[in-house]
Structure 1
Amino acid sequence: MSDEMHHFSMGIWLLALAFVVSVAGSVIGLACTRHSMNATTRESRMRWLFMAALSIGGVAIWLMHFIAMLGFSVPGSPIRYSLMWTVVSALISVTAVFVGLVIIGTEFRLSRLLAGGLVMGVAVNVMHYTGMRALRFQGEIHYDVYFVALSLLIAVVAGTVALWFTMIVESTVLRLFAGVIMGVAVVSMHYTGMAAVEVVHDPSATTPEGLEVFSFLFPVFVLGLLALAIPIVAVLTAPDPVTAHMDSAADELASEAREFAVRD
């Protein structure tokens, strides 16, 4: 057996693509989260939170991870992925993000925000390392515990800050900035987690079985971007809560005016 450094190929464009996908999923997911806080029924709120979890957990975290892994290689060994662990990592990511968003609630409370941010930060990390469990090559992986801890810290702190922006900031521009923060957090966590990886290559090991990353990533990438169309349309067509409140108040005033006119 021999210790060999893994490396990333495909250059800066792959990092840029992973970042854009993560930011897009984060921005849409946080927008859905904001709309969930203004929902008038429990069913409506759950729909918004489910779309948010798919956008953040499914696109910003899970899809970003496997896009970034396109550049991962172990010299001298083919890379394959376990379908089961790949699917499990997606389910963990979406479910954990959903739970974190439910914990946050509809009104700002620091304790809920910290708890929800912790759950979502841990979700990012669990997805990453579960996704790494899907990796198959001739050899095995060890992790540097300090980089693992740092990746967890980055995800929890930046994710909590992004959620804080989403909950209390009224400016749309600053809410978009929250999506960028979360995208940066997810990508930073990923590459910090990859810095923790130590590959032990064993050329005598059996050739790995499983899927090539391109064979499942391309259709998933297309489906993921198409899936984003649903929450995007929902966000764009949802009534603005301030405008809706003003319209409701105007309707009430008009109704009172008509009643007053009839009495006269």
Structure 2
Amino acid sequence: MTAEVSEFHYGLITPIAAYLMAFLGAVLALRCTTRSIGRGRGQKKLGWLALGAVSLGCGIWTMHFIAMIGFSVDGGLVSYDSGRTLLSLFVCIAVVAVGVFLVGYRGSGPVTLGTAGVLTGLGVAAMHYLGMTAVNTGGDVHYDTTVVVLSVVIAVVAATAALWAAVSISAVWATIGAALVMGAAVSTMHYTGMAAVSVHVAQMQSGGQSSTSLLSFLLVMLAGPVAALILAGAIVMFDPEVVGGQRDWHPAERQEAVAGRRFTA
């Protein structure tokens, strides 16, 4: 029989908290990428791009699993495979890093941006569905193919827009606006993907979802990525160039930045 599935076991708390984490990861990634522009190809550029990739990857992954706290199956006991859950985190950070480094070093030309956007979007979708394989519902999980494809398209579009914004927007308020949109896009991708899910169980189990143990597990899994976001936030907050959008470049760095913009035009 088909069990009733809900994404809002705790009401609006989980989608709002998930969105805020996606927004936080996006705004930190945008500011870090802005800081890397004009920094040549040295360690400073590498460090800022890496921090941006980790921030965006952790923000997306954290959004996904905070939202999953609200996932419940009527008559089913939801549990998670910790190995696959952690693997989905590493996949998310890795694919986001590919996109961030591509646009960070090669600019936002159409070919580079398109390639980076597709790779990153597919990677984010892979993270989502890999994370879903870690979920044990006590039944068989099925997906609506059309809705799955739609979620992947949303992921690619969102990733492309995020990468474009990362190298094209520098003003603080513009960055915040872009991050608000990116957070909404990531959340939309997640809930679209979850709309494709149906669960078929052979027999309803009494007691339903074990909320306490499930919540405890997910909070433990979330501790590391949330700590990484807090650390990234502290680094950004104490760097005046990131916060204020001001760049005190050396002449050679300024010349390279100008040349890079001409290249991508």
The TM-score normalised by the length of structure 1 is: 0.83
Q: 1:40 to 1:237 in 2, by over 3 A?
A: farther
Partner of 2:13 in structure 1? 13
Partner of 1:225 in structure 2? 226
1:98-137 to 2 correspondences below 5 Å = 98-106=97-105, 107-137=107-137
Partner of 2:254 in structure 1? none
Report SS of the residue matched to 1:11.
Answer: coil
Query: 1:121 offset after TM fit, Å?
Result: 1.2
The TM-score normalised by the length of structure 2 is: 0.83
Partner of 1:72 in structure 2? 71
1:185-211 residue CA offsets vs partner (Å, 9 max, x unmatched)? 111000000001111112289xxxxx9
Report SS of the residue matched to 1:105.
Answer: helix
Contact kept in structure 2, 1:32 and 1:231, CA below 8 Å: no
Query: 1:133 offset after TM fit, Å?
Result: 0.4
In 1: Cα distance, 2:229 partner to 2:173 partner:
20
Partner of 1:259 in structure 2? none
In 2: Cα distance, 1:76 partner to 1:124 partner:
30
Structure 2, unmatched stretches of 5+, are 206-211, 252-265
Report SS of the residue matched to 1:86.
Answer: helix
Q: 1:243 to 1:51 in 2, by over 3 A?
A: closer
Q: 1:126 to 1:76 in 2, by over 3 A?
A: same
Query: 1:87 offset after TM fit, Å?
Result: 1.0
Alignment of 1:203 with 2:207, yes or no, is no
In 2: Cα distance, 1:72 partner to 1:81 partner:
12
Report SS of the residue matched to 1:39.
Answer: coil
Query: 1:122 offset after TM fit, Å?
Result: 1.2
Aligned residues: CA RMSD:
2.4
Q: Which amino acid aligns with 1:145?
A: T
Which deviates more from structure 2 when the two are superposed, residues 117-126 or residues 130-139? 117-126
Partner of 2:61 in structure 1? 62
In 2: Cα distance, 1:170 partner to 1:94 partner:
23
Contact kept in structure 1, 2:18 and 2:66, CA below 8 Å: yes
Partner of 2:80 in structure 1? 81
In 2: Cα distance, 1:56 partner to 1:200 partner:
34
Q: 1:202 to 1:37 in 2, by over 3 A?
A: farther
In 1: Cα distance, 2:125 partner to 2:247 partner:
39
In 1: Cα distance, 2:145 partner to 2:238 partner:
46
The percentage of counterpart residues that share the same residue type is 34
In 1: Cα distance, 2:86 partner to 2:222 partner:
14
Q: Which amino acid aligns with 1:97?
A: V
Structure 1, unmatched stretches of 5+, are 206-210, 250-264
In 1: Cα distance, 2:36 partner to 2:122 partner:
22
1:70-129 residue CA offsets vs partner (Å, 9 max, x unmatched)? 111111111110011101101100111111111213433121111111122112211100
Q: Which amino acid aligns with 1:109?
A: G
Where relative contact order (Cα < 8 A, 6+ residues apart) is larger, the structure is 2
Partner of 1:174 in structure 2? 174
Q: Which amino acid aligns with 2:177?
A: F
Partner of 2:236 in structure 1? 235
In 2: Cα distance, 1:108 partner to 1:68 partner:
31
In 2: Cα distance, 1:19 partner to 1:189 partner:
11
In 2: Cα distance, 1:220 partner to 1:138 partner:
21
Q: Which amino acid aligns with 1:43?
A: Q
Point out the structure with max Rg over C-alpha.
Answer: 1
Report SS of the residue matched to 1:138.
Answer: coil
Which deviates more from structure 2 when the two are superposed, residues 14-23 or residues 26-35? 26-35
1:162-194 residue CA offsets vs partner (Å, 9 max, x unmatched)? 322232234221112121122111110000000
Alignment of 1:4 with 2:15, yes or no, is no
